[in-house]
Amino acid sequence: MAKLRITCLEGQHQGEVLEAQFNPKEIEVDRSVPWQLQPRKGPGDLEFEHVDGARMAFELLFDGVETSKSVQPPLDRLRQFGSVDTSLHRPPKVKVAWGNAAGAMPGFDGVVEFSQALRGPIATAVSRGELPLVLGGDCTLLIGVFAGLRDAGERSGLWFVDGHADFYDGESSPTGEAADMELAILTGHGPEGLVDIAGEAPLVDPAAVAILGHRPESLGTDVAEELGYVPGAIERLDAAAVVEQGAVDVGREAEGRLAARSQAWLHVDLDVLDSELFPAVSYPQPGGLDWDQLTDLVRPLAASPALLGASIADLNPARDPDGTCAAQVVERLAPLLAPGT
Ligand SMILES: [Mn+2]
User: 92 alpha carbon to ligand 1 midpoint, in Å?
Assistant: 42
3-state secondary structure of 214: strand
Q: According to the model, what pLDDT value does residue 101 have?
A: 44
How many Å apart are CA 67 and CA 215, to the nearest integer? 29
Give the distance (Å) from ligand 1 centre to CA of residue 35.
54
Residue 167 DSSP class? -
66's torsion region: left (phi>0), alpha (psi -120 to 50) or beta?
alpha
pLDDT of residue 102: 41
pLDDT band at 107 (very low <50, low <70, confident <90, very high): low
What distance in angstroms lies between residue 270's CA and the mean position of ligand 1's atoms? 8
Mean pLDDT within 235-242:
98
Distance of CA 56 from the midpoint of ligand 1 (Å): 34
Residues within 5 A (CB) of ion ligand 1: 139, 162, 166, 269
Taking the centre of ligand 1 as the mean of its atom positions, its distance from the CA of residue 245, in whole angstroms, is: 23
Annotated domain spans of the chain: 2-98, 109-337
Question: Rounded to whole angstroms, how far apart are CA atoms 241 and 227?
Answer: 15
How far is ligand 1, taken at its centre, from the CA of residue 266, in Å? 13
166 CA to middle of ligand 1, Å?
A: 6
Q: What is the pLDDT of residues 59-86, one digit of tens each?
A: 788 888 877 888 899 899 999 998 999 9
- With vertex at residue 90, the alpha carbon angle to CA 84 and CA 95, rounded to the nearest 5 degrees, is 90
* Interatomic CA distance for residues 138 and 118, integer angstroms: 13
Q: What number does CATH give the domain 109-337?
A: 3.40.800.10
- The contacts of residue 180 (CB under 8 Å, 6+ apart) are 164, 166, 167, 168, 173, 174, 226, 283
pLDDT at 144 over 50: yes
Residue 137's identity, in one-letter code, is G
The whole-number pLDDT of residue 29 equals: 75
Judged by average pLDDT, the poorest of 33-42, 120-129, 133-142 is 33-42
User: Which has more pLDDT, 46 or 140?
Assistant: 140
Q: How far is CA 208 from CA 30, 110, 234, 236, in A?
A: 49, 27, 7, 11
Give the residue-averaged pLDDT of 16-30: 76
pTM for the full model?
0.72
Question: How many Å lie between the centroid of ligand 1 and the Cα of residue 175?
Answer: 13
10 Å CB burial of residue 301 (0-12, 13-18, 19+) is buried
Quote the ligand 1 centre to 278 CA distance (angstroms): 15
Residues of the chain with pLDDT > 90, as a percent, come to 61
Residues 279, 319: Cα–Cα separation, whole Å: 7
Which comes out higher in pLDDT, residue 319 or 99? 319
**pLDDT value at residue 51:** 74
pLDDT tens digits for range 145-196: 999 999 999 999 999 999 999 999 877 787 778 888 999 999 999 888 899 9
Per the model's pLDDT, the better-predicted residue between 89 and 298 turns out to be 298
Please tell me the distance between residue 139's alpha carbon and the centre of ligand 1 in angstroms: 5
Give the Å distance between the CA of 165 and the centre of ligand 1: 7
Q: What percent of the chain has pLDDT over 70?
A: 93
